[in-house]
Structure formats: C-alpha cells, structure tokens
Structure 1
Amino acid sequence: WPAMLMGIDFRTPDILSVHGMLTINGEKMSKSRGTFITARQYLKHLEPFYLRYYFASNLSRKPDDVDLSFKDFVNKVNAELVDNISNFTYRTLSFVSKRFGGKLSTLPEGDVPTEEIMRLIRETDEYFSEREFRKAVQTINQICFIGNKYVTDMKPWDLIKKDERLCQQNLTWCVNLCKNLAILLKPVVPSLSKSLEDQLNLKDLNFSNVGFDLVNHQIGEVRMLATRLDLEKVNKIVEPIEESTPTRTHQQVTSQTSEVIDYDYFARLDLRVAEVLEADRIKNSKKLIRLIIDCGEKRQIVAGIGEYYTPEELIGKKILVICNLKPVKLMGVESNGMLLAGSLPNSRIFLATFDKEAVNGSKVK
C-alpha cells in the first residue's frame, strides 16, 4: 500500500491507527446471524454522528476490539452527547437568543473557571495527538459538566432579574465555552461541530481559535445539536436483515422433498440428549470444532460448525446427537457420533438443542 501511494505521488501516512475487530452486541458480524450492518442500512435509521461519537468514546491507541452494544450505545449517546454536551450548548445559546436577542457582551471579571477549562482543553489536544480518543471524549464531557454546573449555580433565570448586565457577561463566557467545544468536537463529530459553528455565527474554527475572546458578537439561529435515541428504534437497524431470510428460504424448504422412510428405519438411529462439556477448535481448520460430550457416557465428536459458533458459546448446551455411527477421523481427530443441526442454502447452521432440564443420555424417539 505505501508503495502504491508513492507510485502515484500520494503522500504516505505519518501514523497508522490500527484497531481490533468490530462486534455487534458481543457477536461477530454475520449476515446469517443478523448481526451484520451495512452503512446504507444504518443510515436508514440514524445520522452518522451518533456512531462516530460512540466509536470515538471507545477507541484508544491499543488494538482492542470494539463492541457495538446497542444498549450501551443508546445509554452513552443519551447520557453524554445529548444530556451533557447538547444540553449545555442549547441551554446557553437559547437563553442568549431569547433574553438578549442573540447579542454577547464583554466577559465577566468575577470567579469563572477559565483556567481549569483551558487546562482540560490542552489535555484533550494531547489525547487526540496520542490517538487516545476515549480519553479525549471523556475530557470533553468533563468540560461540559463544568459548564452545566456553572449555568446551574449561576441561575441566569434569577440573575437576569437582579443584574442583567452580569447575567449577559456570564452567558458570554458560556458562549465562549461553546466555541471551544465546537473546536474540540470537530475530530469526533464534524457535522455537529459545523452545526455549532453556524449557531455561533462563526466559520472554520480550528485549534488556533481556542480561548475566551469572543465578545460583543451576534450569534445565529439556535437548535439542539442532538436528540435522544430510543433502544427499540435502534434495534430495528438489524431487523430487516433477520426478517429477509424466512421469506426467501420458505420456498426453498417446501420445494425440497426428502426420501420417505418407515419407522423401523428411524428406530435404528440411537438419538440422545448430550451436554457439551468441552469445546475447542481443531488446528488449521476454520469449520471443525472438537467437542467432549456427556450423552450418558463421555464421548468425543467433531462438528463442522466453527463458522457459526465459538467453542465458548457451545459449552453447557444440550444438543441432539446420533450415537451409533461408525467412528470417523476428520483432520486426524476421531469423531464418535454426530450432532444434528438445521441449515438452508446460503444460510447459517442452527443447532438442535434442548432445555437445560433435559437429562444427559435420554433417548429421543
């Protein structure tokens, strides 16, 4: 890749940030499992900035896996991006717009946490430089928490009745904090940063504009940066993928007729309930998993289900096994039986399982 870039006179990157795997609700991304989300599918339901914020809040310079847990996604976005960040900018700018006609004054001379905010801004810049995005987002939230506390303690709704000039000055300081937030948010959620710039009636802010120097300025039209997410609606992102399979496969099932056998033939099969005691992947195979089962006796079987199940999630399952098959060797590992599972063309495999109350070794008739 670097050679290709140099061959077409493109600049090679100074730093490569490499991350781990992306999982959905704790599972590998899989179309057959209904845990595969395309960008197009996501955009039918949500704006990109929600996901950008969530990923940034979970990424560090280490190549750790990132899990898109919908519950955590909704909770984090609502608690941080909406209730903290968006709440601060909206309560500040809307008050200035409604009570002061959108006009700023000078900065207050009283006790304001400017030095603490500037220290946190410098920390955030360092975290971005070190690609510690999770820490950067956490620090941005800390800044907003201070801003929200300042507004709550200041009580502009009461102060304006006692000292209108001081109230306007205090809120001018808060608007300056909004300006700094627009700069800090730009690497994470550029669309929200642009929205905040528009509301502030400013353009193309960058880190050189950090500070508290915005005075006697007219702000623009005010609006909420982000609205709360609903878990039920977010869960629908994957539903169309899951629902599309039954309609397609029903025709396949009904069109396939197996050979009819009599009951005596079926009765010759030794079908039993078996509990998976141990499971591990067979070396150099993507599909094969070795299972130690209790089917009334301990046995070893080999199953080609490795693309759909991990060894860890198999342990403890009660499965259906044929116990009177001749032993066979698969990649040098002997299998004394065969588990039963359902499958369809172009679909995943589904294990035939029992409730945990089923007794190991019970005959299935």
Structure 2
Amino acid sequence: MMTQPKRYLITAALPYANGLKHVGHLAGAYLPADIYVRYLRAQKRDVAFVCGSDEHGTAIPIQAMKENTTPQAIIDKYHELIKQNFADLSISFDIYHRTSSPLHHETSREFFTALNNAGELETKETEQYYDEQAKTFLADRYIKGTCPNCGYESAYGDQCERCGTALSPDELINPVSTLSGQPPVKKLTTHWYLPLNRHEEFLSKWILQDHKEDWRASVVGQCKSWIDGGLQPRAVTRDLDWGIKVPVEGAEGKVLYVWFDAPIGYISATKQWAIDNGKDWTPYWNDKDTKLVHFIGKDNIVFHCIIFPVMLKLHGNILPDNVPANEFLNLEGDKMSTSRNWKLEMQDYIDDFVKKENGGPQMVDVLRYYLTQIAPESKDSEFTWKGFQDASNSELASIFGNFVNRTFVLMHKLCGGKVPPLHADVFDEKDKFAGDEIIRIKQKVESLIEDYKFRDALFEVINLARVGNKYLQEKEPWKVEKKLAEQPELQKQIDNCLHVSLQLCANLAILINPFLPNTAQKMLHMMKVVDKMLDWENAGKMKLLSVGYTLRAPEILFRKIEDDEVKAQVEKLQAGLAKATAENKAAANGAAKAEEVPVEKPAPALKAEIVYDDFAKIDLKVGTIVAAEKVEKADKLLKLSVDLGFETRTIVSGIAMHFKPEEIIDKQVVVVANLAPRKMRGIESNGMILMAEDTSGKLHFVKPENVINAGSGVS
C-alpha cells in the first residue's frame, strides 16, 4: 500500500484574462480539480488549491485593441469577472491569484535569473518581423496577410480564421503589420531559449517509463509523440511591451514569454496563499512528500508535462505526480467557438439559471452534475441542452432527489418526524443488503476519485440512490402501515425501513458532497446536523443520525427543467450563430466579395468511433519527397520516393490531378508508415500520404508547420 503524502498541492490551468470563459473550460480543468480537492478536504488532508488569471501574452493587448482600452483595464475587468464566475459555480480555490501581481513578477524574475545564472538557458540570434513605423517587433497575431491556402486576405500570422489552417508569418502573402498597416521587415533579435533537447533522456524515463501506467494514455501518448519527434530549444523571451521585463542588462524591450511565466504563477499563488494564512510555502514546492497534481485541458499537456517539469527540475522543485488532462467539450454537435458565438459561457448559465427566481444553488449543482456525467476524461464529449434536461430530470430529480424526498415524507408520516429505532429481531436480508451496499459503494467511490475517474465515481453515488429507491419499493412501508391496526407489531418493520433509508440519505450527503456541495448542504439542513458529518471517515457508517432525533420537513432538492427552457437555450444559441455569421460577412466585405464569404455549414458526419488503442496502432512519420513521376496509363497516380530518415519508400498516391511531379520535390508530408503494402498498377506501394481536401475539392498536403527531420513521429 502506498504511503499517503504529507500534503497536496492542486493546480488548475490559469485562464487567460482576455474574455469570459465557457463551460468547456469549466468541465476541462476546474470542476474535476474542485471535486478532487473537496474529497481531499473531507479526508482531512493538508491541501492547497491554487489558481489565478494569466494576464500576459499577446492575447491581452489584442483584446485591448478590440475594446479600445488598455491592457491593464482588460485584465482588471476580466480577472474579476472570471473569479466571480468560479465562485458562483462553487469552485473552491484556496486562492485565485493573478500574474500581474508584484509577487508574481518578482517570483518569475528570480526563476529566470536562477536558470540563466546556472547556464541552463542559451541565447540565439534570429530574424523576426519588425514594424519600422511602430518601432517594434511583431508577434504572430500582429501580422496579417493573404492565406496561401484559401486566399482570405485577413489571415493572422498564426492561423487563418476562414479556413482554419495553422500558419507562420513567413507563409502569409503580402504580410502587413496590424499596428501601422505597413509591410514589416526582417530584423535580427536575440532571445533566451530553454534547451529542451538536453533533457530528452530525463523526460523519456520520467514520463514513458515511470508514469506509463498511472497517467492517462492520451497524456502519455502526446508526450511520446513530442519526445520521439525530437525536442528543440524553446524561446523563453520575446519582443513585446506587455509582460514581465527580462531581468538581464541589455534586454530592453523584451519580456518573459507567457508560457514561461504563466506556470510560475502556481508558485507565486502558493506564496501569496501562505502569506495570507501564516504558512510556509516552501514545502508545497520543495518537499518530495508533497503530491503535486495539475488539472488541465489537452491543449496544455506539452507545457505541464514537458516544459514546466524541465523548469522545475532545473530549479530544484518537485515534479507533478499526475497531470489528469481532459479532452474537449463540444456543444450541440459542433466545437465551441468565440468568433462564431457558438458557446455557452459560465456567465450566461449563471444569468439564465442560477440568478433566476427558480434558480439558486441547486442549479449550480445541476450544471456540475451534467458536466461531470459527460466529462471528457478519455475522449471529446458533447453538451446538449436535451442531455442537460434529461440528466437533471431523469437522474438527479427522479433518482437521487426522489429517494431523499420519499424517505423524509414517509419518516414524517409514519415515524412522527423522528429517526426511528432499529429492531434487531426483525432485521432481514433486505435491510442488511442496503447497509452492505453503503459500505461497498463508499469504497468504490473513494477508489475512483483517487484514480481521477470522477465520472464513474459520480455514477456510483447515484447508484446508491438507486439502491435506496429499490429498497423502499421492496419494503413498501406505506402498505405495511395499513395493517398496523390489526398487527401493531409491524411498526418495527416500518421503523427498520425508515431507519436504514435515513442512514442511507446521510451517507448520500457525504458521498455527493465533492460533486454537488450545495445539495449536501441542503441535506444537512434537512437532517439538522453540522458540516462535520461530511467528514469522509463517516461514510459507510449506519449510525450517523441518532434515534429519536427530530428532522426537518423535506425540501425538493432538484426542480424539473422544462421543455420551454431547453427550447429557449437552443434558439438563443442559433441566434448567436446567425448574428456572428452576419457580422463576419459584413467585416469580410471590405476585403472580399460577399459571395466569397463562406456560410455556416453543419458539422460533417464522423466515421465510427474508435478507442485510443486503435489510433495507437497507426505509425505516422514525417517524410520528404525526393522523387516523383507519373504512373503510366494512370491519370490520377504519382509514384513517389519518400525519405523517412531510416529508409526511402516507394509510395503510389492519387494526387496527379492536383500536383505536377516537379512541384512537390522536397515537400514534407505525413506518411502512414505501417500500412500493409499494396500493388497499384503493378507498383508496390509501401505507405500512404495524408492529404486534406477543401470545400472546392482541391487537395493539400498535411505537413509539419516547420521543416523537421525526416522520420519524426506524428500524433
């Protein structure tokens, strides 16, 4: 049996303070972290739960430009809004800090200085785009130009928002600065880099060996892809006005790159929490008897599993014990998108459900329940308003709420509103089974939460309510009551049934507390007991409510979600999409003809679902085309020679209608390298080239953003 750590440090990804956050963010990092922390607190473990606003990087000044204000005004605005949203949805941080604080600036500069002085950073001179009129280097988002893929004239230097293609500024046609509107020039600049390539051996052992079994397969798989592809030095500084100034002489106009300073925000938040509570922060980051767990979304895996651990190791801090990253949450059949207004922000839910007359804390718990039930723990999942309604009405209200309400109603009707005694002489197998199930399910829930399987743990809690409903239905105390006039001794059977049911309710309050804390509090109120009963050590006990103790009248735990409410939300979503589409068309009219602006299309149908193990069988490698020729008597086929680093393969590909052989020499492509050989026109083809097809039917190579070594792995 593993020794329990002395203390726990739990972090949730720092959200950018450049706008409101949606329920996908809540489901990905913050709700699962809160469930885990509430469980640890119920276990009376020493735990600190830290988070805060990420307030640096280009996203902040860009949002300031959009809102015609200053970066400071933006972070002040959204920090408070996001912080309040979390509080309104019962996310119980011990501290919600911010990276604009003086303490964080000081902590980040000290961290950088320690690594730099120890020779763990290196400097390199590179060419980057520079705006001569604005006299500043340009981050990718400060450069616009024509997309080489779809011809959209307002594509950003990192992505085209029309076709979605990932870009670099060098790929843009006719790039211009968004600051001055003038074409930028290339200019040499020096930056500091974290040489990740020096630490491949450490990362390979630590992740791919030490944590191969206890980390989620998707996390290990993504890390393996990065490591197998060869890690490269990563810049830790950039030319920007907004951010933490680089603490080195001669580094004027440079700030710490946001990905470097943001995770240090966990440390500065811990420091501030310790100051506020008269504690010593150092054991939480330096004592190996501390269990550090990062809760994040899958887009943050590389930062928390590869980059930040290298930083921590070099700085002498502990490493994370686990990084239970979640996948993405989609909405009504499509990805959430701020630009397309296809989203459900936390603020919208709070306004439409929590703050309404029939809302309140119970509607907070309904959202927490549904998001946990559909948690994207192993694959992307989907929020639908019909699913939300069904989860609330058919499970929370009809199973959990129904059992608690029936128990309290019957207790008041048949036992005078007091906890009845338990009579050993009529204690039967059904009574014993219900009591045994409480113990079994408590142990199951505990094991699942410890293993970060919150969706399955919640299912077990609801299953205990199912056990209670079945037990009541089998015992039928309302029917037994009708026989009391002739057989008064049957009161003992009624007493036993209601005693067991009430003890089951008390256990439900303890087990549901990490997931639905407001529901647990309402149940405590009905039972007239204090918070101490929610201590985890009480779960599984059958003497939580004292015999003869008077309990309050039942209160409805969960109201029904009406069809009209669901209809209104779907209509609101569609109206928001239509409005955003019209606005995007209007904005595009200045740069393109209206008929060229793409209209919204329904999401394409997906092929049958596969599991991660299916995907893991596919071996994707980066290859370089070194020769190409047409296949005789085959209009569509090209015979390619592809260098995979370890060998050169012959691959026959049906792309001759889209590319001339001489055009694709030296092009990098992604190859399915372990596809069984297949003869085509008498030529044995050993692999497949991955291609993407746009709406016009034109094919495009799927390729790495930058040229990398042939043979590099892809995931």
TM-score by shorter chain over 0.5:
yes
Alpha-carbon distance in 1 for matches of 2:510, 2:565: 31
Alpha-carbon distance in 1 for matches of 2:332, 2:442: 33
> Is 1:201 paired with 2:528?
yes
SS at 2:503's partner residue? helix
- Choose from 503, 527, 534 the match for 1:176: 503
User: What residue is the counterpart of 2:325 in the other structure?
Assistant: 18
Deviation for aligned residue 1:300:
5.2
User: What residue is the counterpart of 1:48 in the other structure?
Assistant: 364
Task: For 1:83, give the aligned amino acid.
Answer: S
Question: Relative to 1, partners in 2 of residues 1:33 and 1:238: Cα closer, same or farther, differing over 3 Å?
Answer: farther
Range moving further from structure 2, 96-105 or 138-147? 96-105
Task: For 1:120, give the aligned amino acid.
Answer: I
Question: Relative to 1, partners in 2 of residues 1:101 and 1:300: Cα closer, same or farther, differing over 3 Å?
Answer: farther
Cα RMSD, aligned residues only: 3.9
May I ask how many residue pairs the two structures share in their alignment?
280
Alpha-carbon distance in 2 for matches of 1:176, 1:6: 39
Question: Relative to 1, partners in 2 of residues 1:320 and 1:135: Cα closer, same or farther, differing over 3 Å?
Answer: closer
Deviation for aligned residue 1:89:
0.5
CA contact (8 A) 1:31 1:241 kept: no
> Is 1:3 paired with 2:267?
yes
Deviation for aligned residue 1:241:
5.2
Q: Deviations over 1:108-160 (max 9, x none)?
A: 43121212321111111111222211111121122111111110111111112
Question: Relative to 1, partners in 2 of residues 1:160 and 1:25: Cα closer, same or farther, differing over 3 Å?
Answer: same
Alpha-carbon distance in 2 for matches of 1:246, 1:69: 19
Range moving further from structure 2, 65-74 or 154-163? 65-74
Alpha-carbon distance in 1 for matches of 2:336, 2:474: 46
Deviation for aligned residue 1:43:
1.9
Question: Relative to 1, partners in 2 of residues 1:135 and 1:90: Cα closer, same or farther, differing over 3 Å?
Answer: same
User: What residue is the counterpart of 2:336 in the other structure?
Assistant: 29
> Is 1:212 paired with 2:517?
no
> Is 1:132 paired with 2:132?
no
- What TM-score, normalized by structure 1, do the two folds share? 0.65
Alpha-carbon distance in 2 for matches of 1:257, 1:14: 51
% identical aligned pairs: 22
Q: Which has the higher contact order (CA 8 A, sep 6+)?
A: 1
Task: For 2:349, give the aligned amino acid.
Answer: Y
Deviation for aligned residue 1:37:
1.0
Q: Deviations over 1:69-100 (max 9, x none)?
A: 32333223322211111111111111112333
> Is 1:107 paired with 2:447?
no
Deviation for aligned residue 1:320:
7.7
CA contact (8 A) 1:45 1:234 kept: no
Q: Deviations over 1:256-294 (max 9, x none)?
A: 899x9xxxxxxxxxxxxxxx9xxxxxx9xxxxxxxx9xx
CA contact (8 A) 1:124 1:139 kept: yes
Q: Deviations over 1:191-225 (max 9, x none)?
A: 11111111111121221222111222211131121
SS at 2:421's partner residue? coil
- Choose from 391, 397, 413 the match for 1:82: 397
SS at 2:292's partner residue? coil
User: What residue is the counterpart of 1:39 in the other structure?
Assistant: 346
Alignment map for 1:1-365 (pairs within 5 Å): 1=264, 2-8=266-272, 9=274, 10=281, 11=284, 14-16=292-294, 17-46=324-353, 47-59=363-375, 62=377, 64-109=379-424, 110-111=427-428, 112=431, 113=433, 114-162=435-483, 163-204=490-531, 205=533, 206-210=535-539, 211-213=541-543, 214=545, 215-237=547-569, 239-240=571-572, 242-243=574-575
Alpha-carbon distance in 1 for matches of 2:657, 2:571: 39
CA contact (8 A) 1:42 1:237 kept: no
Deviation for aligned residue 1:180:
0.2
Range moving further from structure 2, 228-237 or 164-173? 228-237
Deviation for aligned residue 1:239:
3.7
CA contact (8 A) 2:329 2:380 kept: yes
CA contact (8 A) 1:24 1:67 kept: yes
Deviation for aligned residue 1:4:
2.5
Alpha-carbon distance in 1 for matches of 2:527, 2:465: 17
Where structure 1 has 5 or more consecutive residues not aligned to the other structure, the ranges are 261-275, 277-282, 284-291, 293-297, 302-313, 324-330, 332-365
Alpha-carbon distance in 1 for matches of 2:464, 2:590: 66
